[in-house]
Chains A and B, each alone.
Chain A
Amino acid sequence: MLNVLITAARNFVKNYFVATIMIATLAVFCLTCPNFFSINNLLDITKQGGLLSLLALAMTMVLIVGGMDMSVGAIYDICTNFCAGMVISGYGVFLSVAVSVAAGLGFGIFNMVMIVFIRVPPFIATVGTMFVVTGLTFAYNKGQSILLSNQPLFFSLAQGATLGIPNIAIIVAVITVVIYICLRRFRYGLYMYATGGNSMAAKAAGINTTLSQLIAYGMSGMLSGLGGALAASYISGSFALGSPFEFLITAFAAAFLGSTLIRQGELNPLGTVIAALFITSLNNALTLYGVSFLILPGMQGTVLILALVLGNWGKKQTGQMTIF
Protein backbone atom coordinates (compact mmCIF):
# COMPACT_ATOMS: atom_id res chain seq x y z
CA MET A 1 0.00 0.00 0.00
CA LEU A 2 2.79 2.36 0.91
CA ASN A 3 4.60 1.34 -2.27
CA VAL A 4 1.64 2.31 -4.38
CA LEU A 5 1.49 5.68 -2.72
CA ILE A 6 5.21 6.26 -3.17
CA THR A 7 5.09 5.32 -6.84
CA ALA A 8 2.09 7.56 -7.35
CA ALA A 9 3.86 10.40 -5.59
CA ARG A 10 7.00 9.86 -7.67
CA ASN A 11 5.03 9.90 -10.89
CA PHE A 12 3.28 13.04 -9.81
CA VAL A 13 6.57 14.74 -9.11
CA LYS A 14 8.03 13.61 -12.41
CA ASN A 15 5.10 14.74 -14.51
CA TYR A 16 4.24 17.81 -12.56
CA PHE A 17 7.63 18.97 -11.49
CA VAL A 18 6.81 22.61 -11.47
CA ALA A 19 3.52 22.12 -9.66
CA THR A 20 5.37 20.22 -7.00
CA ILE A 21 7.76 23.05 -6.49
CA MET A 22 4.90 25.47 -6.24
CA ILE A 23 3.10 23.39 -3.67
CA ALA A 24 6.28 22.95 -1.71
CA THR A 25 6.95 26.67 -1.73
CA LEU A 26 3.47 27.43 -0.52
CA ALA A 27 3.84 24.85 2.20
CA VAL A 28 7.03 26.53 3.34
CA PHE A 29 5.23 29.83 3.46
CA CYS A 30 2.39 28.43 5.50
CA LEU A 31 4.70 26.82 7.97
CA THR A 32 7.18 29.60 8.45
CA CYS A 33 4.99 32.65 8.19
CA PRO A 34 2.19 32.92 10.70
CA ASN A 35 0.15 35.58 8.98
CA PHE A 36 0.25 33.98 5.60
CA PHE A 37 -2.34 31.39 6.26
CA SER A 38 -4.87 33.71 7.81
CA ILE A 39 -8.23 34.00 6.14
CA ASN A 40 -7.88 37.69 5.50
CA ASN A 41 -4.53 37.29 3.88
CA LEU A 42 -5.68 34.49 1.67
CA LEU A 43 -8.68 36.52 0.61
CA ASP A 44 -6.41 39.40 -0.26
CA ILE A 45 -4.27 37.11 -2.33
CA THR A 46 -7.33 35.88 -4.12
CA LYS A 47 -8.50 39.35 -4.96
CA GLN A 48 -5.16 40.69 -6.15
CA GLY A 49 -4.39 37.46 -7.91
CA GLY A 50 -7.74 37.68 -9.59
CA LEU A 51 -6.98 41.06 -11.08
CA LEU A 52 -3.62 39.84 -12.26
CA SER A 53 -5.26 36.74 -13.68
CA LEU A 54 -7.36 38.77 -16.05
CA LEU A 55 -4.29 40.40 -17.54
CA ALA A 56 -2.50 37.08 -17.68
CA LEU A 57 -5.48 35.50 -19.40
CA ALA A 58 -5.47 38.31 -21.93
CA MET A 59 -1.83 37.65 -22.69
CA THR A 60 -2.42 33.91 -22.79
CA MET A 61 -5.07 34.19 -25.48
CA VAL A 62 -2.76 36.11 -27.72
CA LEU A 63 0.21 33.85 -27.05
CA ILE A 64 -1.91 30.82 -27.95
CA VAL A 65 -2.35 32.05 -31.50
CA GLY A 66 1.32 32.77 -31.71
CA GLY A 67 1.10 36.51 -31.27
CA MET A 68 2.03 39.03 -28.66
CA ASP A 69 0.24 41.89 -26.96
CA MET A 70 2.37 44.55 -25.36
CA SER A 71 -0.61 46.80 -24.82
CA VAL A 72 -2.46 44.81 -22.16
CA GLY A 73 -1.03 46.89 -19.34
CA ALA A 74 -1.86 50.14 -21.06
CA ILE A 75 -5.43 49.07 -21.82
CA TYR A 76 -5.80 47.96 -18.23
CA ASP A 77 -4.67 51.40 -17.09
CA ILE A 78 -6.92 53.38 -19.34
CA CYS A 79 -9.95 51.29 -18.56
CA THR A 80 -9.32 51.79 -14.87
CA ASN A 81 -9.50 55.48 -15.58
CA PHE A 82 -12.54 55.23 -17.85
CA CYS A 83 -14.46 53.21 -15.32
CA ALA A 84 -13.57 55.42 -12.39
CA GLY A 85 -14.35 58.49 -14.41
CA MET A 86 -17.73 57.23 -15.43
CA VAL A 87 -18.67 56.16 -11.96
CA ILE A 88 -17.81 59.60 -10.63
CA SER A 89 -19.91 61.14 -13.33
CA GLY A 90 -22.80 59.10 -12.11
CA TYR A 91 -23.24 56.62 -14.96
CA GLY A 92 -23.92 53.69 -12.73
CA VAL A 93 -21.95 50.54 -12.16
CA PHE A 94 -23.23 48.43 -14.98
CA LEU A 95 -22.74 51.02 -17.68
CA SER A 96 -19.29 51.95 -16.44
CA VAL A 97 -18.07 48.40 -16.49
CA ALA A 98 -19.68 47.73 -19.82
CA VAL A 99 -18.02 50.75 -21.36
CA SER A 100 -14.65 49.68 -19.99
CA VAL A 101 -14.98 46.29 -21.54
CA ALA A 102 -16.16 47.81 -24.78
CA ALA A 103 -13.21 50.19 -24.79
CA GLY A 104 -10.88 47.26 -24.25
CA LEU A 105 -12.53 45.48 -27.13
CA GLY A 106 -12.10 48.59 -29.23
CA PHE A 107 -8.38 48.68 -28.61
CA GLY A 108 -8.21 44.99 -29.25
CA ILE A 109 -9.85 45.54 -32.61
CA PHE A 110 -7.33 48.26 -33.31
CA ASN A 111 -4.56 45.76 -32.65
CA MET A 112 -6.30 43.22 -34.82
CA VAL A 113 -6.60 45.54 -37.77
CA MET A 114 -2.93 46.42 -37.67
CA ILE A 115 -1.65 42.91 -37.21
CA VAL A 116 -4.01 40.92 -39.32
CA PHE A 117 -4.99 43.27 -42.11
CA ILE A 118 -2.09 45.66 -42.41
CA ARG A 119 0.31 42.85 -41.51
CA VAL A 120 2.43 44.72 -39.02
CA PRO A 121 4.50 42.47 -36.76
CA PRO A 122 2.60 41.93 -33.49
CA PHE A 123 5.28 43.44 -31.32
CA ILE A 124 5.47 46.70 -33.20
CA ALA A 125 1.73 46.98 -33.62
CA THR A 126 0.93 46.43 -29.96
CA VAL A 127 3.73 48.75 -28.88
CA GLY A 128 2.19 51.37 -31.11
CA THR A 129 -1.13 50.78 -29.42
CA MET A 130 0.58 51.00 -26.07
CA PHE A 131 1.91 54.43 -26.95
CA VAL A 132 -1.40 55.64 -28.18
CA VAL A 133 -3.33 54.29 -25.23
CA THR A 134 -0.86 55.70 -22.73
CA GLY A 135 -1.26 59.03 -24.38
CA LEU A 136 -5.02 58.79 -24.25
CA THR A 137 -4.85 57.90 -20.58
CA PHE A 138 -2.93 61.02 -19.93
CA ALA A 139 -5.33 63.06 -21.96
CA TYR A 140 -8.23 61.62 -20.07
CA ASN A 141 -7.04 62.02 -16.51
CA LYS A 142 -4.75 64.98 -17.11
CA GLY A 143 -2.12 63.36 -14.95
CA GLN A 144 -4.30 63.14 -11.88
CA SER A 145 -5.44 60.02 -10.20
CA ILE A 146 -9.17 59.73 -9.78
CA LEU A 147 -10.46 59.16 -6.31
CA LEU A 148 -13.77 57.53 -5.69
CA SER A 149 -15.68 57.66 -2.48
CA ASN A 150 -19.12 56.72 -1.36
CA GLN A 151 -19.81 54.25 -4.10
CA PRO A 152 -20.84 51.23 -2.10
CA LEU A 153 -22.33 49.30 -5.00
CA PHE A 154 -19.30 49.80 -7.16
CA PHE A 155 -16.85 49.03 -4.41
CA SER A 156 -18.63 45.86 -3.54
CA LEU A 157 -17.83 44.64 -7.01
CA ALA A 158 -14.20 44.00 -6.30
CA GLN A 159 -13.96 44.45 -2.61
CA GLY A 160 -17.04 42.55 -1.59
CA ALA A 161 -17.96 38.95 -1.33
CA THR A 162 -20.92 36.73 -1.99
CA LEU A 163 -21.50 33.92 0.42
CA GLY A 164 -18.04 34.52 1.77
CA ILE A 165 -16.30 34.16 -1.56
CA PRO A 166 -14.76 37.34 -2.93
CA ASN A 167 -16.63 38.62 -5.97
CA ILE A 168 -13.46 38.94 -7.97
CA ALA A 169 -12.78 35.29 -7.41
CA ILE A 170 -16.21 34.36 -8.67
CA ILE A 171 -15.92 36.51 -11.74
CA VAL A 172 -12.47 35.25 -12.62
CA ALA A 173 -13.43 31.68 -11.96
CA VAL A 174 -16.44 31.91 -14.22
CA ILE A 175 -14.46 33.54 -16.98
CA THR A 176 -11.67 31.02 -16.72
CA VAL A 177 -14.03 28.11 -16.90
CA VAL A 178 -15.85 29.57 -19.88
CA ILE A 179 -12.61 30.19 -21.73
CA TYR A 180 -11.35 26.76 -20.86
CA ILE A 181 -14.48 25.10 -22.17
CA CYS A 182 -14.47 27.13 -25.35
CA LEU A 183 -10.86 26.34 -26.05
CA ARG A 184 -11.19 22.64 -25.44
CA ARG A 185 -14.64 21.89 -26.66
CA PHE A 186 -15.29 24.05 -29.64
CA ARG A 187 -13.62 23.87 -33.00
CA TYR A 188 -12.60 27.49 -32.93
CA GLY A 189 -10.71 26.99 -29.73
CA LEU A 190 -8.80 24.12 -31.26
CA TYR A 191 -8.13 26.20 -34.32
CA MET A 192 -6.60 28.93 -32.19
CA TYR A 193 -4.04 26.48 -30.87
CA ALA A 194 -3.43 25.21 -34.37
CA THR A 195 -2.83 28.73 -35.64
CA GLY A 196 -0.24 29.26 -32.97
CA GLY A 197 1.31 25.83 -33.31
CA ASN A 198 1.89 25.87 -37.05
CA SER A 199 -0.09 28.42 -38.96
CA MET A 200 1.02 26.97 -42.30
CA ALA A 201 -0.31 23.57 -41.41
CA ALA A 202 -3.49 25.17 -40.12
CA LYS A 203 -4.02 27.10 -43.31
CA ALA A 204 -3.26 24.04 -45.40
CA ALA A 205 -5.97 22.23 -43.46
CA GLY A 206 -8.44 24.92 -44.38
CA ILE A 207 -8.51 26.64 -41.00
CA ASN A 208 -9.27 30.33 -40.94
CA THR A 209 -6.22 31.61 -39.11
CA THR A 210 -7.37 35.20 -39.48
CA LEU A 211 -10.48 34.46 -37.47
CA SER A 212 -8.44 32.83 -34.74
CA GLN A 213 -6.27 35.88 -34.45
CA LEU A 214 -9.27 38.18 -34.44
CA ILE A 215 -10.76 36.29 -31.55
CA ALA A 216 -7.51 36.31 -29.63
CA TYR A 217 -6.80 40.00 -29.86
CA GLY A 218 -10.40 40.91 -29.28
CA MET A 219 -10.58 38.79 -26.15
CA SER A 220 -7.29 40.18 -24.95
CA GLY A 221 -8.65 43.69 -25.17
CA MET A 222 -11.88 42.79 -23.42
CA LEU A 223 -10.17 40.97 -20.59
CA SER A 224 -7.78 43.85 -20.05
CA GLY A 225 -10.74 46.19 -20.07
CA LEU A 226 -12.62 44.14 -17.53
CA GLY A 227 -9.51 43.94 -15.41
CA GLY A 228 -9.24 47.70 -15.49
CA ALA A 229 -12.84 48.13 -14.41
CA LEU A 230 -12.44 45.74 -11.51
CA ALA A 231 -9.19 47.42 -10.57
CA ALA A 232 -10.99 50.73 -10.34
CA SER A 233 -13.39 49.12 -7.96
CA TYR A 234 -10.66 47.47 -5.93
CA ILE A 235 -8.49 50.48 -5.37
CA SER A 236 -11.36 52.90 -5.30
CA GLY A 237 -10.23 54.96 -8.19
CA SER A 238 -7.34 54.98 -10.59
CA PHE A 239 -3.65 55.74 -10.72
CA ALA A 240 -2.30 58.73 -12.54
CA LEU A 241 -0.01 56.91 -14.90
CA GLY A 242 1.46 53.48 -14.62
CA SER A 243 4.57 52.26 -16.34
CA PRO A 244 3.89 50.52 -19.62
CA PHE A 245 5.98 47.53 -18.69
CA GLU A 246 4.71 47.02 -15.22
CA PHE A 247 2.20 44.30 -15.78
CA LEU A 248 3.73 42.80 -18.86
CA ILE A 249 6.32 40.76 -17.07
CA THR A 250 3.85 39.38 -14.60
CA ALA A 251 1.42 38.53 -17.35
CA PHE A 252 4.14 36.73 -19.30
CA ALA A 253 5.34 35.00 -16.18
CA ALA A 254 1.89 33.74 -15.30
CA ALA A 255 1.20 32.57 -18.83
CA PHE A 256 4.43 30.65 -19.23
CA LEU A 257 4.49 29.32 -15.73
CA GLY A 258 0.94 28.17 -16.27
CA SER A 259 1.94 26.33 -19.39
CA THR A 260 4.41 24.22 -17.49
CA LEU A 261 1.70 22.93 -15.22
CA ILE A 262 0.16 20.56 -17.70
CA ARG A 263 1.95 17.65 -19.23
CA GLN A 264 2.08 18.85 -22.77
CA GLY A 265 3.42 22.28 -21.96
CA GLU A 266 0.61 24.09 -23.72
CA LEU A 267 -0.55 27.51 -22.72
CA ASN A 268 -3.84 27.08 -20.94
CA PRO A 269 -6.19 29.36 -19.04
CA LEU A 270 -6.41 27.27 -15.93
CA GLY A 271 -2.68 27.04 -15.51
CA THR A 272 -2.36 30.75 -16.12
CA VAL A 273 -4.74 31.59 -13.33
CA ILE A 274 -3.09 29.20 -10.93
CA ALA A 275 0.29 30.66 -11.80
CA ALA A 276 -1.04 34.17 -11.36
CA LEU A 277 -2.28 33.27 -7.91
CA PHE A 278 1.05 31.70 -7.09
CA ILE A 279 2.98 34.76 -8.13
CA THR A 280 0.68 36.91 -6.06
CA SER A 281 1.25 34.61 -3.10
CA LEU A 282 4.97 34.93 -3.67
CA ASN A 283 4.81 38.69 -3.53
CA ASN A 284 2.53 38.55 -0.57
CA ALA A 285 4.65 36.16 1.43
CA LEU A 286 7.81 38.05 0.72
CA THR A 287 6.17 41.24 1.94
CA LEU A 288 5.02 39.50 5.08
CA TYR A 289 8.51 38.23 5.65
CA GLY A 290 9.56 41.81 5.82
CA VAL A 291 11.57 41.53 2.69
CA SER A 292 11.56 45.00 1.38
CA PHE A 293 9.23 45.54 -1.48
CA LEU A 294 12.21 46.75 -3.36
CA ILE A 295 13.15 43.23 -4.30
CA LEU A 296 9.78 42.21 -5.64
CA PRO A 297 10.18 43.23 -9.24
CA GLY A 298 13.35 41.23 -9.52
CA MET A 299 11.60 38.22 -8.03
CA GLN A 300 9.05 38.08 -10.77
CA GLY A 301 11.71 38.25 -13.39
CA THR A 302 13.50 35.34 -11.81
CA VAL A 303 10.30 33.37 -11.62
CA LEU A 304 9.73 33.92 -15.31
CA ILE A 305 13.21 32.79 -16.21
CA LEU A 306 12.85 29.69 -14.11
CA ALA A 307 9.50 28.96 -15.66
CA LEU A 308 10.90 29.31 -19.14
CA VAL A 309 13.91 27.16 -18.44
CA LEU A 310 12.18 24.43 -16.49
CA GLY A 311 9.11 24.25 -18.59
CA ASN A 312 10.93 24.17 -21.87
CA TRP A 313 13.99 22.21 -20.98
CA GLY A 314 14.64 19.79 -23.76
CA LYS A 315 12.16 21.35 -26.12
CA LYS A 316 13.51 23.34 -28.97
CA GLN A 317 11.80 26.67 -28.68
CA THR A 318 9.83 28.60 -26.19
CA GLY A 319 6.43 27.73 -27.49
CA GLN A 320 4.95 29.68 -30.28
CA MET A 321 6.81 32.96 -30.13
CA THR A 322 6.52 34.69 -33.44
CA ILE A 323 7.38 38.13 -32.35
CA PHE A 324 8.48 39.80 -35.50
Chain B
Amino acid sequence: MSKNQKIITALSLMAAAIIIMTFASMPSAGSKELTISDVMANAEKYDGDYIMTEGLLNKETVQWNADKIELQFEIYDENETKLPVVYKGVQPDNFTEDVIVIVEGFISKNGVFEAEKVMTKCPSKYEGEDMENYDSEMHKEIYKDAQE
Protein backbone atom coordinates (compact mmCIF):
# COMPACT_ATOMS: atom_id res chain seq x y z
CA MET B 1 0.00 0.00 0.00
CA SER B 2 1.35 3.43 -0.85
CA LYS B 3 1.50 6.17 1.70
CA ASN B 4 -1.32 7.96 -0.01
CA GLN B 5 -3.56 4.95 0.21
CA LYS B 6 -2.73 4.47 3.87
CA ILE B 7 -3.52 8.08 4.67
CA ILE B 8 -6.74 7.88 2.73
CA THR B 9 -7.69 4.67 4.53
CA ALA B 10 -7.02 6.25 7.91
CA LEU B 11 -9.03 9.33 7.00
CA SER B 12 -11.92 7.28 5.68
CA LEU B 13 -12.01 5.34 8.93
CA MET B 14 -12.20 8.62 10.82
CA ALA B 15 -14.91 9.88 8.53
CA ALA B 16 -16.84 6.68 9.16
CA ALA B 17 -16.41 7.16 12.91
CA ILE B 18 -17.77 10.69 12.76
CA ILE B 19 -20.69 9.62 10.61
CA ILE B 20 -21.55 6.79 13.00
CA MET B 21 -21.42 9.31 15.84
CA THR B 22 -23.79 11.53 13.85
CA PHE B 23 -26.29 8.72 13.44
CA ALA B 24 -25.91 7.52 17.01
CA SER B 25 -26.90 10.82 18.56
CA MET B 26 -30.01 11.01 16.43
CA PRO B 27 -33.05 9.38 18.02
CA SER B 28 -32.82 10.74 21.54
CA ALA B 29 -32.86 14.27 20.28
CA GLY B 30 -35.86 14.14 17.97
CA SER B 31 -39.28 15.68 18.13
CA LYS B 32 -42.12 14.25 16.06
CA GLU B 33 -43.71 16.73 13.75
CA LEU B 34 -47.45 16.08 13.61
CA THR B 35 -50.64 17.85 12.69
CA ILE B 36 -53.05 18.93 15.39
CA SER B 37 -55.74 16.59 14.06
CA ASP B 38 -53.33 13.69 14.29
CA VAL B 39 -52.31 14.61 17.83
CA MET B 40 -55.88 14.92 19.04
CA ALA B 41 -57.05 11.75 17.33
CA ASN B 42 -54.21 9.63 18.64
CA ALA B 43 -53.40 11.25 21.98
CA GLU B 44 -53.03 7.81 23.58
CA LYS B 45 -50.57 6.62 20.98
CA TYR B 46 -48.32 9.64 21.32
CA ASP B 47 -48.27 9.52 25.09
CA GLY B 48 -44.74 10.26 26.22
CA ASP B 49 -43.49 11.35 22.79
CA TYR B 50 -41.86 14.71 22.34
CA ILE B 51 -44.06 16.34 19.73
CA MET B 52 -43.85 19.40 17.54
CA THR B 53 -47.00 20.79 16.01
CA GLU B 54 -48.25 24.06 14.68
CA GLY B 55 -51.52 25.88 14.25
CA LEU B 56 -53.18 29.25 14.19
CA LEU B 57 -53.72 31.08 17.45
CA ASN B 58 -57.17 31.87 18.77
CA LYS B 59 -56.39 35.11 20.59
CA GLU B 60 -59.57 35.01 22.68
CA THR B 61 -58.48 31.86 24.44
CA VAL B 62 -55.22 33.31 25.74
CA GLN B 63 -55.06 33.30 29.51
CA TRP B 64 -52.06 34.51 31.43
CA ASN B 65 -51.40 33.86 35.07
CA ALA B 66 -48.58 36.14 36.15
CA ASP B 67 -48.12 34.67 39.61
CA LYS B 68 -47.78 31.11 38.44
CA ILE B 69 -46.11 32.20 35.18
CA GLU B 70 -48.45 30.06 33.21
CA LEU B 71 -49.82 30.71 29.75
CA GLN B 72 -52.87 28.94 28.34
CA PHE B 73 -54.18 29.21 24.81
CA GLU B 74 -55.71 27.30 21.96
CA ILE B 75 -54.39 26.74 18.49
CA TYR B 76 -56.32 25.19 15.63
CA ASP B 77 -55.55 23.68 12.25
CA GLU B 78 -57.30 23.84 8.90
CA ASN B 79 -59.87 21.24 10.01
CA GLU B 80 -60.74 23.59 12.89
CA THR B 81 -59.49 20.94 15.31
CA LYS B 82 -58.55 22.74 18.50
CA LEU B 83 -55.57 22.02 20.67
CA PRO B 84 -55.49 23.50 24.17
CA VAL B 85 -51.94 24.34 25.26
CA VAL B 86 -50.42 25.01 28.68
CA TYR B 87 -47.02 26.59 28.85
CA LYS B 88 -44.93 27.47 31.87
CA GLY B 89 -43.51 30.60 30.38
CA VAL B 90 -44.28 33.93 28.81
CA GLN B 91 -45.86 34.63 25.49
CA PRO B 92 -43.45 35.24 22.62
CA ASP B 93 -43.47 38.42 20.58
CA ASN B 94 -46.13 38.75 17.91
CA PHE B 95 -48.51 36.46 19.78
CA THR B 96 -51.58 37.67 17.95
CA GLU B 97 -54.76 36.49 16.26
CA ASP B 98 -54.19 33.96 13.50
CA VAL B 99 -50.45 33.95 13.70
CA ILE B 100 -48.88 30.52 13.19
CA VAL B 101 -47.69 29.20 16.54
CA ILE B 102 -45.20 26.35 16.75
CA VAL B 103 -45.31 24.36 19.99
CA GLU B 104 -43.05 21.58 21.22
CA GLY B 105 -43.86 19.36 24.16
CA PHE B 106 -46.02 16.47 25.31
CA ILE B 107 -49.69 15.60 24.94
CA SER B 108 -51.30 14.67 28.24
CA LYS B 109 -54.04 12.08 28.67
CA ASN B 110 -56.76 14.71 29.08
CA GLY B 111 -55.91 16.14 25.69
CA VAL B 112 -54.04 19.22 26.90
CA PHE B 113 -50.73 19.93 25.26
CA GLU B 114 -47.99 20.67 27.77
CA ALA B 115 -45.59 22.83 25.84
CA GLU B 116 -41.90 23.14 26.60
CA LYS B 117 -41.38 25.62 23.81
CA VAL B 118 -43.71 28.11 22.19
CA MET B 119 -42.62 30.04 19.11
CA THR B 120 -44.43 32.22 16.68
CA LYS B 121 -43.48 31.72 13.09
CA CYS B 122 -41.06 34.50 12.36
CA PRO B 123 -43.40 37.45 12.15
CA SER B 124 -41.16 38.91 9.55
CA LYS B 125 -42.33 39.97 6.23
CA TYR B 126 -38.77 39.34 5.37
CA GLU B 127 -38.52 36.30 3.08
CA GLY B 128 -42.25 35.96 2.95
CA GLU B 129 -43.87 37.02 -0.24
CA ASP B 130 -47.07 35.27 0.77
CA MET B 131 -47.27 37.63 3.67
CA GLU B 132 -48.05 40.40 1.27
CA ASN B 133 -51.74 39.82 1.71
CA TYR B 134 -51.58 39.63 5.42
CA ASP B 135 -54.94 38.33 6.45
CA SER B 136 -56.25 35.23 8.08
CA GLU B 137 -57.51 33.65 4.86
CA MET B 138 -54.05 33.85 3.42
CA HIS B 139 -52.62 32.46 6.58
CA LYS B 140 -54.86 29.46 6.40
CA GLU B 141 -53.78 28.92 2.85
CA ILE B 142 -50.12 29.13 3.68
CA TYR B 143 -50.78 26.83 6.50
CA LYS B 144 -52.49 24.29 4.28
CA ASP B 145 -49.65 24.44 1.80
CA ALA B 146 -47.17 23.88 4.52
CA GLN B 147 -49.01 20.75 5.55
CA GLU B 148 -48.92 19.19 2.12
Q: Decide whether A and B are members of one complex.
A: no
